């Protein structure tokens, strides 16, 4: 990654986008799907009704828009920043999704889940610090 203050600022802003928009997208999808009803109660004959509910849910579309924003930010930042820098930074999104779930959806997040999320972040951080190319360059 080339070094300049402007580039650093651009990288931090896009990583902030990644860490916020992916969890926000998932939280909105969750909110939308809770409105559709549990998949445990879906019958095969209800499939069109369920699909209609999904595609007419504004939460689902907002969630998709957030996930697309995340995807574009992820692709953009990878055009100049190293994968081994971006991926560990994006591991924070696992913690952010729990925080958003707690505050926006009122989900109960037990201490064991927080501990698990922390361990996942550590694991992703280690995975991200390995060399991105695992085969010899042709």
Contacts with other proteins, residue ranges (CB under 8 A): 23, 26-27, 29-30, 33-34, 36-40, 42, 54, 60, 79, 94, 97-98, 100-102, 105, 107-110, 112-113, 115-131, 134-135
Q: How far is the CB of 34 from other proteins (least distance, A)?
A: 7
How far apart (Å, rounded) are the C-alpha atoms in residues 54 and 35? 9
Q: Least Å distance between CB 51 and other proteins? A: 9
**Neighbouring C-beta atoms of residue 118, cutoff 10 Å:** 13
**88 and 121 Cβ atoms separated by less than 8 Å:** no
CB of 2 to other proteins, least distance (A): 15
Residue nearer to other proteins on the CB measure, 12 or 103: 103
Q: Which of 4, 127, 7, 3 is nearest to 77 (CA)?
A: 7
Gap between the Cα atoms of 90 and 88, Å rounded: 5
Least Å distance between CB 69 and other proteins? 16
């Amino acid at each position: 990654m080339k070094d300049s203050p402007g580039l650093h600022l651009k990288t931090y802003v896009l990583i902030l986008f990644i860490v916020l928009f992916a969890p926000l997208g998932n939280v909105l999808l969750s909110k939308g799907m809770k409105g559709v009803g549990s998949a445990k109660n879906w019958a095969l004959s209800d499939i069109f009704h369920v699909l209609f509910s999904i595609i007419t849910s504004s939460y689902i579309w907002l969630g998709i828009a957030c996930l697309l924003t995340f995807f574009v930010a992820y692709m953009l930042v990878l055009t100049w920043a190293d994968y081994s820098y971006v991926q560990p930074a994006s591991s924070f999104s696992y913690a952010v999704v729990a925080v958003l779930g707690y505050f926006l959806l009122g989900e109960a997040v037990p201490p064991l889940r927080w501990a698990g999320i922390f361990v996942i972040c550590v694991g992703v951080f280690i995975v991200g610090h390995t060399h991105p190319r695992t085969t010899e360059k042709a």
